[in-house]
Amino acid sequence: MLSTQKGIFAILIGALTSLIGTIFQFILMYLLISSYGPKFNGFVKNTIAIVAFLGSVEGALGSLTVIFLLKPLLQKDYIRANEILNTTKHQYRIAGIIGIFLLLGISLAYSSYTYIFEKDFLVTVNGVAEKYALWKMMIIVALIGSKNLIGLFWTACYENLMQADQNNHIRRLVMMICDLVAYSIIFYAISVTIDPLFIFLIFLMYSLMKGVLVYLFVRLNYPWIRIMKQKDNMQLVKKSNIIVFKNIGETLIINLDAIVVAILLGLNISSTLSLYMTIAVGVRSIMLILINSFREFFAAWTAKNGRINWDTYIKFETYAFMIGAFLFINQFILSPYFVTALYAPQIGVDFSGWTAQELAIFNDIFYYPTFSLLIAISSVFIILGEPANVLIYAKGNYQKVAMPIFYLGIANVVISVIVAIISRFAFNDYKSALYGILIITCIVTFIRFVYLWVYNWMYLTYNSSFKGVFRNWMILLVPIIIAILVNYLFINVSYNPNNIYDENFQYQWGWNILLSIFFGLIVTSIMLILINSILWAPRSVKGIILRLPIIHRIWLKKQEKARKIRKSKFEDDFINLTEPTDPYQEMWEREEALVKSHITNLEIDVGPSGEDEIYVLKG
């Protein structure tokens, strides 16, 4: 069960799944804008951001279930594992019922708000722009929200079991297959310009298909599962009810900007913002998977061996800081080129109905680097907080950090809404409202990172010190400073995204220029980060590189060859070489052997026979 190879494979599968999902989102937005107009795209993307809050109805049950299952799976205690699964399934059903009522409320509230306040909310169907019906809008919101709610009633507990047994890569493969099928049908349906209501009915098919595949995998690989109606593990229930606050706080911190913009600044701005955020969130999700795919590995490791040493953790943090630097450079510099090349013609074809302030925000998002800078900073702080989150997950200490994160999320809501309302209604300045929200998000994500890091330093690692902290910050800050200077002083001046199209949105650049910028920047950023990291932490970077799948296999073969050479060298001197052993592994193997021998030799005494001798102990 405990396998770094599985962890690395899960990273590759997770990154590939997120990459494919991001590409599907690009295509979906392109087709929605082309077929139904930018406002409908804004409505759909805002709905996705709002219904993300429904993920908190489970009360962090999934994360806790994975943690609770680790030890029973290690010890092959299937009675205990079944008890946890039964409790989880019962709680998921309750969460699903609550989620349905919340989804109905969101469908009514957001659809009514859009229908009333967006007077010119027109949807183009078969070339005819028409006012879209309120009941259709409500059904679309409900269908989008139901994509993940259906699983709560059926296979959510099985997905937790797959994660606990380090089979999360299989789960992600299932999701990728379902995405391929579902989005292929959606793209075809949009291309024939049918009513968008029928397009989102496909989300129901996605949920059912994923449920069937997960159920079949679990039934074939875990025959010991016995699902019954009782719930026996009240500790799991109580802890999940506490940790729900952490989930809400995280969602408020990460997704709030899109929601506030959607409600206070209108669908034109929110649609434009959603184009950029799809790219930003997609890249950030891929980077997060490169870090949090180690969650199950660390959880299994700590369940078996105890607390993690600071020296080990700081190497993991070095890896995360390298990922953060790579994310910042490419998101800060490349995102405007992607957004402009893919979506500027679709939105810019018809600016009728756009105000001067909306056009100014459009130009800021598409053509100027300051907006990208703020988004990249907040993304980096989210990435930097993930190693501490992984360790909190591994130790099962969610309940200790739940309320502080929740309060931080509430503070983010209150301050962002106040700033947006003052800028929007008191000064009638949309740009100040947008940038105010982004700056507050940067500050809040930084505070979240500092809090999680300090908590981890104080309670979750032993022999904690400040060793390696300065070098990690240098690994992060040096590439960031170089990227900011190069972008503002050279790239944005010589190759501004505004020059990709002319005034009529006809291509001025060839794809060779865009591809040269794209691949050139990625290769340059990787080389810069590697060189800088080797200068500051050569041993840690060497360890990271040696853990890469192909390189690790080559290194293992060389180590095995060197070991055989050393062994043959000393054989003539009658020296026996023995491999080092892991005392914890020996302990587990010895315990399993004792349990098996006890079961094999177990005899049931049905009562004394006539030949039995009775002995009396005296003294």
Length of the chain (residues)? 619
Query: Comparing C-alpha atoms, which of 175, 118, 140, 121 is closest to residue 48?
Result: 140
Residue with tokens 């074809």: 349
Q: Are 154 and 212 in contact (CB under 8 A)?
A: no
Kindly report, residue by residue over 432-476, the tens digit of the pLDDT. Answer: 888 888 899 899 999 999 999 999 898 888 888 888 899 999 999
The residues pairing with 131 across neighbouring beta strands, listed in sequence order, are: 122
Identify residue 335 by its one-letter amino acid code: S
Kindly report, residue by residue over 231-247, the tens digit of the pLDDT. Answer: 666 666 666 666 666 77
Query: Comparing C-alpha atoms, which of 370, 347, 487 is closest to residue 432?
Result: 370
User: Over 80: is that where the pLDDT of 119 sits?
Assistant: no
Kindly report, residue by residue over 174-226, the tens digit of the pLDDT. Answer: 888 888 888 888 888 888 767 888 888 888 888 888 888 988 998 888 888 88
User: Over 90: is that where the pLDDT of 478 sits?
Assistant: yes
Task: Return d(Cα 320, Cα 302) in angstroms, integer.
Answer: 20
Split at pLDDT 50, 70, 90, the class of 130 is confident
Kindly report, residue by residue over 270-310, the tens digit of the pLDDT. Answer: 767 777 777 777 778 778 777 776 666 666 666 666 677 88
User: Over 50: is that where the pLDDT of 23 sits?
Assistant: yes
Give the burial class of 466: count Cβ atoms within 10 A of its Cβ; 0-12 exposed, 13-18 middle, 19 or more buried: exposed
Q: Residue 60's pLDDT is what?
A: 64
User: Over 70: is that where the pLDDT of 148 sits?
Assistant: yes
45 or 257: which leads in pLDDT: 45
Task: Return d(Cα 334, Cα 369) in angstroms, integer.
Answer: 10
Residue 10's contacts (CB-CB under 8 Å, 6 or more residues apart) are: 166, 168, 169, 172, 293, 296
What is the pTM (predicted TM-score) of this model? Answer: 0.76
Q: How many CB atoms lie within 10 A of CB 459?
A: 16
Query: Comparing C-alpha atoms, which of 268, 234, 474, 451 is closest to residue 357?
Result: 268
Kindly report, residue by residue over 596-607, the tens digit of the pLDDT. Answer: 665 555 444 444
Q: Residue 453's pLDDT is what?
A: 92
Show the tokens assigned to 139: 């059904």
Look at strands 461-462 and 128-131 and give their pairing: unpaired
Q: Residue 202's pLDDT is what?
A: 84
User: Over 70: is that where the pLDDT of 250 sits?
Assistant: yes
Task: Return d(Cα 535, Cα 302) in angstroms, integer.
Answer: 31
Q: Are 436 and 499 in contact (CB under 8 A)?
A: no
520 or 363: which leads in pLDDT: 520
Q: Are 358 and 519 in contact (CB under 8 A)?
A: no
Question: How far, in Å, are 108, 263, 281, 393, 461 from residue 274 at the CA level?
Answer: 22, 13, 10, 30, 39
Q: Are 131 and 121 in contact (CB under 8 A)?
A: yes
Give residue limits of the domains in the chain.
1-232, 257-537
Query: How many Cα atoms occupy the beta-carbon half-sphere of 6 within 13 Å?
Result: 18
- Mean pLDDT for the chain overall: 78
* C-alpha of 25 from chain center: 15
Show the tokens assigned to 390: 């992984």
Q: Report the C-alpha dihedral over residues 350, 356, 360, 362, rounded to 10 degrees.
A: -30
Query: Comparing C-alpha atoms, which of 397, 375, 220 is closest to residue 299?
Result: 397
Q: Residue 8's pLDDT is what?
A: 62
Q: What average pLDDT score do residues 388-396 get?
A: 77
